[in-house]
């Protein structure tokens, strides 16, 4: 079976309240694969891409440390099945002695892939069934400089939400968002501060 490599293209608010569309893009093609994830799952993926440092390690960060201490590495994530609207993924794990496949929620697999900097693959049949072409409006591209293209993470854009705030007020809001572990909001605030400097 031929595997098709994907890249994290962006994160966009979903029509389902409290959820996001994680959008994966075919590296050598035009198709996009949207996967619905919860807010915490979206944050777990966006945090390392945005370069946000957390006061305490998150679960996926602990997995990275644990695997490295035991001499394991994740060599790839494979989204291998789509059944009744649910994507199924595996982590391909290796050490010096063996190579194993571990069943994993797709959102967790991608959050781990980001931390291990390993490739993400799927199948042609999954892309044929669920792949789409989308407009780029309102897509947060984590970890990428989109110039004047502000990301939309909630009902208001970062520009609207923080327009009247001073740099000091924004820095206080950033500290508060980090204390509350609201990393999506922290990323928005940090982007607004960066644009003003």
SS (H, E, C) the chain: CCEEEEEEEEEEECCCCCEEEEEEEECCCCCEEEEEEEHHHHHHHHHHHHCCCCCCCCHHHHHHHHHHHCCCEEEEEEEEEEECCEEEEEEEEECCCCEEEEEEEHHHHHHHHHHHCCCEEEEHHHHHHHCECCCCCCCECCCCCCCCCCCECCCCEHHHHHCCCCHHHHHHHHHHHHHCCCHHHHHHHHHHHHHHC
pLDDT for the residue 191: 74
Flag whether pLDDT at 172 surpasses 50. yes
pLDDT of 38-82, one tens digit each? Answer: 888 998 998 888 888 787 888 898 999 999 999 999 999 999 999
| Rounded average pLDDT over 8-26 | 86
pLDDT for the residue 146: 43
Flag whether pLDDT at 152 surpasses 50. no
Flag whether pLDDT at 85 surpasses 80. yes
- Domain ranges in the chain with CATH number 3.10.690.10: 3-130
Pairing of strands 86-94, 73-83: antiparallel
Q: What percent of the chain has pLDDT over 70?
A: 83
Flag whether pLDDT at 144 surpasses 90. no
Range 3-130 has CATH code 3.10.690.10: yes
The average confidence (pLDDT) of the chain is 82
Q: What percent of the chain has pLDDT over 90?
A: 42
pLDDT for the residue 131: 87
């Amino acid at each position: 079976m031929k595997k098709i490599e994907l890249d994290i293209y962006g994160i966009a608010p979903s029509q389902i309240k409290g959820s996001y569309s994680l959008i994966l893009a075919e590296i050598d093609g035009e198709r996009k694969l949207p996967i619905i994830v919860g807010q915490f799952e979206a944050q777990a993926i966006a945090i390392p891409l945005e370069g946000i440092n957390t006061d305490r390690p998150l679960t996926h960060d602990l997995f990275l440390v644990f695997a490295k201490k035991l001499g394991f590495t994740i060599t790839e994530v494979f989204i291998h099945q789509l059944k009744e609207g649910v994507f199924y993924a595996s982590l391909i794990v290796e050490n010096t002695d063996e190579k194993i496949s571990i069943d994993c929620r797709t959102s967790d697999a991608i959050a781990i892939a980001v931390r291990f900097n390993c490739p993400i693959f799927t199948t042609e049949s999954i892309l044929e069934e669920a792949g789409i072409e989308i407009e780029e409006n309102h897509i947060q591209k984590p970890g990428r400089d989109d110039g004047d293209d502000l990301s939309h993470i909630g009902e208001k854009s970062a520009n609207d939400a923080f327009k009247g705030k001073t740099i000091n007020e924004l820095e206080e809001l950033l500290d508060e968002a980090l204390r509350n572990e609201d990393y999506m909001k922290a990323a928005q605030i940090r982007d607004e501060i960066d644009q003003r400097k």
